[in-house]
Structure 1
Amino acid sequence: MNYIPTEPTLIDYSKVTFIKSSPNLELAPKDCGIEVAFVGRSNAGKSSAINAIVGQNKLARTSKTPGRTQLINFFSIDDDRRIVDLPGYGYAKVPERIQQQIEEILNTYLGQRQCLQGLVLLMDIRHPLTPRDHNLLQIAQECNLPVHILLTKCDKLKRGVSNNILLQVRKNLTGYTNMTAQTFSALKQLGLEEARQKLSDWFTF
């Protein structure tokens, strides 16, 4: 009998709901099913990107004060699949003690969460691949974790400039494995389908 591939599962991201916030893995949802996590510098527009991708305005809380999110936020697609909003990093005005706590949360989650299928790393397209971004990419590489980069706020630049930065970022990723990148704008709704497709690929793995 010939094998007939099944159609990929269609995911309705508009049904995503908040589950809980957790300061550590001990209080996180059970480590099973599939999770895709979002992470990035505090001013990269992480919450806005999550809201745009799921088509909800207030699912992930946005703030005019970078560095406010210091917990792991879990959102449910269904009983087996979750989106995770990790604390933002790299905001200078956050006390050093809090910055260290955030780094510990990130390292523990990325290194120990067995159900984590992929990582969406957000970078402001005007300031990509900072030393802390590279540090996170290295951690993901050591954990054999695929990464998809969203170069956010691409509406702030002309398309030609935006595309050149994307090409340069992709060139700089050649030293890593299983890492991809795209341009993205939550404000102008640019790159949504490409981002949703990447998430769907991971969620139907």
Structure 2
Amino acid sequence: MNVNNVNLEVVSGNASQFPDTGLLEVAFAGKSNVGKSSLINALINRKSYARTSSQPGKTQTINFYNIEDKLYFVDLPGYGYAKVSKTERERWGKFIESYLYERQQLKQILLLVDIRHEPGNNDKMLYDWIVYNGFDPIVIATKLDKIKRSQIDKHVSIIRKSLGITDRKKIVPFSATTKQGKDTLWEIIDDIIENSN
């Protein structure tokens, strides 16, 4: 898709603020600082439209980006950040869970993990929860430019085994710096739009 029109339409702190336009939604989930905002910026060809932060745990709202009036990119708060209080973490958890569980328009969840590290317990829990609720998540292995090309297969294999993924196509290595993986992701998103019409 050629993206010319993007609008951060809704910044919601609770479910009553979610948009009711009926547009389909693709959600971006992952731990704090894994690169959700950078991925969104790369997909929409903007440098800093989705706010990136060097401070993990900065996004505390669910942000709906209207893409060409065809779909929403939904940026979920990062999870697992230690400096946020336990009650705050639990509140986010419930908020994210209610969105993922109840949202009819949600067609695909992209779960971001850092390609350099084996997925942690929070990653595994969220992956299992997403699958348990009937979704077939695509795992985006971010920060691809931080490892050598010769290490990619090994790292992808670690992620696949750790999360119990059988289909290798369900993992997309991605770099916000080099944009590697961007075209593959757009193919996936374009398919979702096509199959939802």
TM-score scaled by structure 2? 0.91
Q: 1:197 aligns with which of 166, 187, 190?
A: 187
Task: Work out whether 1:181 is the aligned partner of 2:181.
Answer: no
Question: Structure 1 regions of 5+ residues with no counterpart?
Answer: 1-10
Aligned residues: 195
Q: 2:116 aligns with which of 126, 131, 136?
A: 126
The 3-state SS of whatever aligns with 1:19 is strand
1:179-205 deviations in Å (ceiling 9; x for gaps): 811111101221111111111122222
Q: 1:149 aligns with which of 136, 139, 147?
A: 139
Q: 1:39 aligns with which of 29, 33, 52?
A: 29
Does the CA contact (< 8 Å) of 2:160 and 2:166 recur in 1?
Answer: no
TM-score scaled by structure 1? 0.88
Max Rg structure: 1
Mapped to 1, the partners of 2:174 and 2:165 lie a distance apart of 23
Q: 1:56 aligns with which of 41, 46, 53?
A: 46
Aligned partner letter, 1:149: V
Counterpart for residue 66 of structure 1: 56
1:91-131 deviations in Å (ceiling 9; x for gaps): 11112122111111111011000110000111111123211
Does the CA contact (< 8 Å) of 2:118 and 2:158 recur in 1?
Answer: no
Aligned partner letter, 2:15: L
Does the CA contact (< 8 Å) of 1:147 and 1:178 recur in 2?
Answer: no
Does the CA contact (< 8 Å) of 2:119 and 2:163 recur in 1?
Answer: no
Q: 2:93 aligns with which of 99, 103, 108?
A: 103
Aligned partner letter, 1:159: R
Say what the alpha-carbon RMSD is for the aligned residues: 1.9
Counterpart for residue 15 of structure 2: 25
Of the structure 1 ranges 47-56 and 168-177, higher mean CA displacement relative to structure 2 is found in 168-177
How far residue 13 of structure 1 moved from its aligned partner, in angstroms, is 2.7
Identity of aligned pairs, percent?
Answer: 35
Does the CA contact (< 8 Å) of 2:10 and 2:17 recur in 1?
Answer: no
Does the CA contact (< 8 Å) of 1:152 and 1:185 recur in 2?
Answer: yes
Aligned partner letter, 1:128: E
1:31–1:102 distance in 2 versus 1, CA, 3 Å: farther
Mapped to 2, the partners of 1:43 and 1:136 lie a distance apart of 16
The 3-state SS of whatever aligns with 1:140 is helix
Does the CA contact (< 8 Å) of 1:117 and 1:203 recur in 2?
Answer: no
